[in-house]
Amino acid sequence: MLATSSVPYEVLGYNKQWTSLFVPDGADVDVAKLAAAERTDFVEVWFDDDEGVTVRVAGADGFAGELSVSLANDGGAAVEDQRFIDALVSRKLLRPGAARTLKARLKDPAEKRDAWIREHGVEAAFAFPEPEPEEEPRSKVADGGEIDWTQPIPRRYRLPEAVRPTLDLHVFYWTEVWSLNANALYHRYRKHLSAADRMLADELCNAAAMGNTEEIPARVEYILQTTWQAEDWAAFIRSPKLDDGGTHPATARRWRELTGRG
């Protein structure tokens, strides 16, 4: 969650390295301030069918730079562009092999390079996650109506009272602890959800990121009751690998106490 930002955004996708966000046109975003506040690097990507691609990077340590890959440009890659690419490798924002490919493509003849740009080759070099196709999850009640996530889920879908303490820990994690820097629990949910239901994990992340806390209890319970037999969720939620470095110290202490690690 971008706890320091009031800018509207939508979570588009995740992978092991990146979280992709969409910010509506006209939104006022100071990426440098976001990077410093969230203590992580941010990469802005601008694509224009007529101009090409611009990649801007803002680091948590004040690092800043830009790579412009223009269409119909016979100039190739400037020395500064190559140095910037090397800096991205050193910051682990770009893999060495992808950096070599990127440098090579920038030196291609204009027609070949333009085709590569229009096929989003620059974005592919960074391995940004693509938005997942919208699927119809099974998040419907028996009569075909949609679940209202701001209300408790229908009783027949609820977890037994005996496991409510585990559910409460998961809800607390998504409400108070989680941020975009920690996705281990998200990925474990997706691992056990069916292909049609994996969007439920994406929607949970989006609700947490947007501060829609009233939706989190129902969303978490629905995911857990769907995957309960696939994982020891009581043990997994207590794992130190779920800790988030961006959590407020007081909340982090409370979290360790709740998980028996205080």
Co-location of 80 and 120 in the same domain? yes
Contact of 160 with 41, CB cutoff 8 Å = no
Q: State pTM to two decimals.
A: 0.51
3 inside domain: no
Q: 172 is in which domain, residue-wise?
A: 155-258
Co-location of 21 and 120 in the same domain? yes
214 inside domain: yes
Co-location of 22 and 119 in the same domain? yes
Co-location of 177 and 122 in the same domain? no
| Mean pLDDT value across residues 47-71 | 88
Answer with the residue of higher pLDDT: 132 or 107.
107
Cα–Cα dist 26/63, whole Å:
25
The pLDDT of residue 246 is: 79
Contact of 59 with 142, CB cutoff 8 Å = no
Q: What is the pLDDT of residues 63-92, one digit of tens each?
A: 999 988 888 776 566 788 889 999 999 999
Q: Which residues pair with 20 in a beta bridge?
A: 13
143 inside domain: no
Locate 201 and state its tokens: 């994990």
Residue 181 has pLDDT above 80, yes or no: no
| Mean pLDDT value across residues 144-164 | 81
